C-alpha cells in the first residue's frame, strides 16, 4: 500500500509510530554501511496489472531517493544499492533491460545533483549501454569531492566476478613490479584482496536488507558481507515504508555482533 492510499487515521498512527521508532534509535549503535538488495519491482507491477515491468522499475527508482534520505537523516555513511546484476544482463528480456538502463541513467543524474551525496559505480561496464556507462561516469566525476552520504550503485555487478577481478588486479600489479608467484603467495591476505575490490577502502556493510520476502544473496557482496547482519522485508521495494526501514535498523541495534568470538 502506498502512503497516499492509507486512510487518514491510520496515516496518523503510522506517523506516531515512525517518530517513536526514531526516538528509540537515539544513542543506539547504528550501522555505518547499509546495503540494499532492491527486489520486487517487477512483481509490484504485476500485482497491479500494469502493462510492463518498466512501471515497477520506475516506481522503485522513485523510492530510492526517499530511502537514501532516510539513511542520510540517521547518519549512515555508506549505502550500496543492488540495481542490476551481471546475471540480469544475460537472463533478462532485452526490451526490459533497455528500459531499466534508461531508468538507472536518469537515477544516476538525479542523485548526482541532490544534497552533498557522492555517487560511485560498483560493477563492470561490459554489456551496459553507452548512455548508462556515460551517466554513471558523469555522476562519479560530478560528486567526487562531495563529503556527504556515499552511494554505491551496483550496476552490472556480480560478487564472484568482483573477487575474480580483484585477484586479476593483484596479479597484474605484482607482475608489473617484477614479483614472483612465491612472493605473492606470502603477501596475499584477506586485507590485500579487500583493497582491490570495487569497494576498496570502504567499510564492509554492517546491515544487508532485502525486500520482497526473498531470502538469498543473489551474488551480492559475497566477500564484504562475511560478518554482515541480514534483514528481510516482505514488502516489494516500491512499497517500502520508512517504518519498515526503521524496524530493520532497530533490529540491527538489538543484535550482538560477535565477529566469531
CA distance linking residue 36 with residue 67, whole number of Å: 10
- Contacts made by residues 17-20, CB under 8 angstroms, sequence distance 24+: 17/243, 18/242, 18/243, 18/246
* Rg, C-alpha atoms of the chain: 19
H or E element: which one contains 157? Answer: strand 150-157
DSSP 1-56: --GGGS-HHHHHHHHHHHHHHHHHTTTS---SEEEEE---HHHHHHHTT-S-HHHH
Q: Which is catalytic among the residues 2, 5, 29, 39?
A: 39
- Residues constituting the chain: 261
The residues, ordered by sequence, that sit 6+ positions from 21 with a Cβ below 8 Å of its Cβ are 243, 246, 247, 250
Which cell is 37 given? 538488495
Active-site residue flag, 219: no
Known active-site residue 251: no
Degrees (nearest 5) of the Cα angle 231, 232, 237?
120
Active-site choice (88, 152, 206, 239)? 88
Catalytic residues: 39, 88
Amino acid at each position: 500500500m502506498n502512503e497516499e492510499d492509507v486512510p487518514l487515521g491510520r496515516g496518523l498512527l503510522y506517523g506516531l509510530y515512525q517518530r517513536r521508532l526514531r526516538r528509540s534509535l537515539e544513542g543506539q549503535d547504528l550501522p555505518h554501511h547499509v546495503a540494499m538488495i532492491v527486489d520486487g519491482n517487477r512483481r509490484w507491477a504485476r500485482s497491479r496489472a500494469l502493462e510492463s515491468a518498466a512501471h515497477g522499475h520506475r516506481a522503485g527508482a522513485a523510492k530510492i531517493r526517499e530511502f537514501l534520505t532516510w539513511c542520510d537523516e540517521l547518519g549512515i555513511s555508506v549505502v550500496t544499492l543492488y540495481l542490476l546484476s551481471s546475471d540480469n544482463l544475460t537472463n533478462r528480456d532485452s526490451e526490459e533491460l533497455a528500459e531499466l538502463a534508461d531508468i538507472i541513467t536518469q537515477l544516476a543524474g538525479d542523485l548526482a545533483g541532490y544534497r552533498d551525496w557522492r555517487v560511485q559505480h560498483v560493477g563492470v561496464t561490459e554489456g551496459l549501454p553507452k548512455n548508462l556507462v556515460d551517466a554513471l561516469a558523469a555522476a562519479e566525476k560530478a560528486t567526487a569531492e562531495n563529503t556527504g552520504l556515499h552511494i554505491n550503485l551496483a550496476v552490472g555487478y556480480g560478487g564472484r566476478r568482483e573477487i575474480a577481478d580483484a585477484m586479476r588486479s593483484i596479479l597484474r600489479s605484482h607482475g608489473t613490479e617484477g614479483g614472483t608467484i612465491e612472493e605473492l603467495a606470502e603477501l596475499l591476505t584477506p586485507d590485500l584482496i579487500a583493497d582491490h575490490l570495487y569497494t576498496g577502502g570502504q567499510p564492509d556493510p554492517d546491515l544487508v536488507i532485502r525486500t520482497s520476502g526473498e531470502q538469498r544473496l543473489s551474488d551480492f557482496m559475497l566477500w564484504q558481507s562475511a560478518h554482515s547482519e541480514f534483514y528481510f522485508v516482505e514488502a516489494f521495494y516500491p512499497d517500502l515504508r520508512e517504518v519498515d526501514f526503521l524496524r530493520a535498523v532497530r533490529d540491527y541495534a538489538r543484535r550482538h555482533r560477535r565477529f566469531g568470538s
